[in-house]
Amino acid sequence: MGRKLLLEHINVPGINTFDVYRSKGGYAAVEKALKTLTPDEVVEEVKKSGLRGRGGAGFPTGMKWSFLAKPEGVERYLVCNADESEPGTFKDRYLMTHIPHLLIEGMIVASFALGAKTSYIYVRGEMMPQIRILERAIAEAKAKGFLGKNILGTDYSLELYVQPGGGAYICGEETALLESLEGKRGNPRIKPPFPAIAGLYGCPTVVNNVESIAAVVPIINDGGDEYAKLGIGRSTGTKLISAGGNLKNPGVYEIDLGLPVEEFLYSDEYCGGIANGKRLKAVVAGGSSVPILPANLFLKTINGEGRLMSYESLSDGGFVSGTMMGSGGFIAYDEDQCIVRNTWNFARFYHHESCGQCSPCREGTGWMEKVLHRLEYGHGKMSDMDLLVDVSKKIEGNTICPLGDAAAWPVASAIRHFRDEFEWHVTDSASATTRNYGIAHYADPLPKVEAAV
């Protein structure tokens, strides 16, 4: 069993209160950072840890922090991204609900490192209960001298606020989030300038995911080098995986990066296998935006090696035969699920959530939704699959923000790996509206490919 860094105390009764959290060693990272380290030394530890952003893109956190511009006399901001709206992802909500002080502690240490005097946690508006939990935790921390003026008697002062969103997936994109925090529509900004130069109110800003910020706590407590010993290769440390879909034990798990996917999926310590004794058909490994893989390609790479839960192993094979770690939103599909219906559902989601600024995204997602709808409802044509791939290619890379890509990839990958199922919806549309295609060969062992790349 892997070491837990974030969720170690999650089952301790009362861990959501300051006193219990503190009794378990909580806020030691704040004491250590503020009293014994300089801000640059904190950044250095995070760099050494190899921590990669847990919000989806996997960009090294320490490096992001070191890019922050520090012009004299200009405020700098840290904004925590707690918008968590990527379908399949529910780890941040879990962390904030059960162990809110871990996020608050991480925010204090990270704000200190960046020299921010005011920081915000942008939480999606639907998470009103979590907003209340965080506000209570902030008030407790402030009452104990860990927030506000001259924290722990040092000359560092910090105010921390929670900001609710208004219900829009796009506000998870960091520049849309900043627009929203400024009281505007969530339209992503054209980059550059990057937030590190001009972010909130035009000031240098770092935006980090909840889990990234929480991970700073064990990194400071144990040292970046210790953290980097966990995991595998450039996938250091632990990762929260939120596992849903047709699983026996859905939930949030903290894994050491590098855990074999087979173990994650089938061992009772984690997902416990597929619910109701069914077989696995497909997996979306990192949230709805990453390519979907059939069971066989998910469990083993095209070279026949067992896949691992790491950034590198999940993306092994590129988009031809691999996928991505993304946000850690793991969705398992059993033999009864329809890939066409699921792809339509996701296309509908992206069309609904497109902010509408770029025509390839606004129009393309609408087209994909329409075509997938007609395929699912038995009115599709054989040419529709090529049409979908064509539309997805026209969106990909041609938009202001990555939502366009996120909408294109699930469609392109579903057709790449499950084309026969899409074709069946056309050739036997009468059956396709009353039953599902089933597992087909998607779970069969892969033929051994020699010298594949």
Ligand X SMILES: Cc1cc2nc3c(=O)[nH]c(=O)nc-3n(C[C@H](O)[C@H](O)[C@H](O)COP(=O)(O)O)c2cc1C
- Shortest Å, Cβ 24 to ligand X: 25
Residues of span 324-343 touching ligand X by CB under 6 A: none
Footprint on residues 147-186 left by ligand X (CB under 6 A): 170, 172-174
Q: At its nearest, how many Å lie between another protein and the CB of residue 127?
A: 7
CA distances from 187 to 166, 175, 191, 402, 405 (A): 13, 8, 12, 12, 16
Stretch that binds ligand X, among 24-32, 47-55, 259-267, 332-340 (CB under 6 A): 47-55
- Contact between 95 and ligand X by CB under 6 A: the answer reads no
Length of the chain: 453
Cα separation, 259 vs 45, in Å, equals 25
Q: How many CA atoms lie within 13 A of 240 on its CB side?
A: 29
Residue with the shortest CB distance to ligand SF4: 361
- Answer for which of 102, 108, 355, 439 binds ligand SF4 (CB under 6 A) is 355
Using the minimum distance from each CB to ligand X, give the nearer residue, 395 or 406: 406
Cα separation of 75 and 308, whole Å? 42
The CB-of-407 to another protein minimum distance in angstroms stands at 13
Please identify which residue in 109, 114, 339, 400 interacts with ligand SF4, judged by CB under 6 A: 400
- Between 238 and 357, name the residue whose CB sits nearer to ligand SF4: 357
Using only C-alpha atoms, the chain has a radius of gyration, in whole angstroms, of 22
Q: Which is nearer to ligand X, 119 or 337 (CB)?
A: 119
Kind and range of the H or E run holding 81: strand 77-82
Closest approach of Cβ 178 to another protein, in Å? 10
Q: For the beta carbon of residue 175, count every other beta carbon within 10 angstroms.
A: 23
Output the smallest distance, CB 207 to ligand SF4, in A.
16
Does the protein bind ligand X through residue 67 (CB under 6 A)? Answer: no
Scan residues 177-196 and list those touching ligand SF4 (CB under 6 A). 188
Q: Give the Cα separation of 410 and 339 in Å (integer).
A: 11
Contact positions vs another protein (CB under 8 A): 75, 84-90, 92-93, 118, 120, 124-129, 159, 161, 163-169, 180-186, 201, 242-247, 250-252, 284, 288, 329, 331, 333, 337, 341-342, 345-346, 349, 352-353
Question: What do you get for the CA distance between the two ends of the chain, in Å?
Answer: 33
Rule CB under 6 A: say whether 54 interacts with ligand X.
yes
Question: Is residue 291 near ligand X by the rule CB under 6 A?
Answer: no
Residues 189-248 that bind ligand X (CB under 6 A): 207-209, 212
Residue type at 67 in one-letter notation: F
Q: Is 357 in the site for ligand SF4 (CB under 6 A)?
A: yes
What's the min distance (Å) between Cβ of 425 and ligand X?
28
Minimum gap (Å) between residue 139 Cβ and another protein? 13
d(CA 359, CA 350): 14
Q: Which two tokens stand for residue 115?
A: 């020299």
Of 353, 329, 351, 333, which Cα lies nearest the Cα of 341? 333
Q: Pick out residues in 361-420 that bind ligand X (CB under 6 A).
A: 401-403, 406
Give least dist CB 390 to ligand SF4, A. 18
**How much helix, strand and coil, in percent to the nearest 5, is found in the chain?**
45, 15, 40
Q: How far apart are CA 29 and CA 19, in angstroms?
A: 16
For ligand X, which residue of 26, 39, 50, 55 counts as binding (CB under 6 A)?
Answer: 55
The reply on whether position 392 binds ligand SF4 by CB under 6 A is no
The verdict on 170 binding ligand SF4 (CB under 6 A) reads: yes
118 binds, among another protein, ligand X, ligand SF4, none (CB under 5 to 8 A by kind): another protein
Strands (E), 210-314: 231-232, 235-236, 238-245, 251-256, 259-260, 280-284, 292-294, 308-309
**Residue 354 to residue 187: CA distance in whole angstroms:** 9
Tokens (6 digits) for 276: 């109701």
Count of residues engaged in binding ligand SF4, rule: CB under 6 A: 14
DSSP string, 111-177: HHHHT-SEEEEEE-TT-HHHHHHHHHHHHHHHHTTSSBSSGGGSS--BEEEEEE--S-GGGGSHHHH
Answer with the entry of ligand SF4, ligand X, another protein, none that 126 interacts with (C-beta below 5 to 8 A by kind).
another protein
- Alpha-carbon span 134 to 286, nearest angstrom: 26
- Of 330, 306, 153, whose CA–CA distance to 251 is shortest? 330
Nearest approach, Cβ of residue 298 and ligand X (Å): 23
- Contacts with ligand SF4 by CB under 6 A lie at 170, 188, 354-358, 361-362, 399-401, 403-404
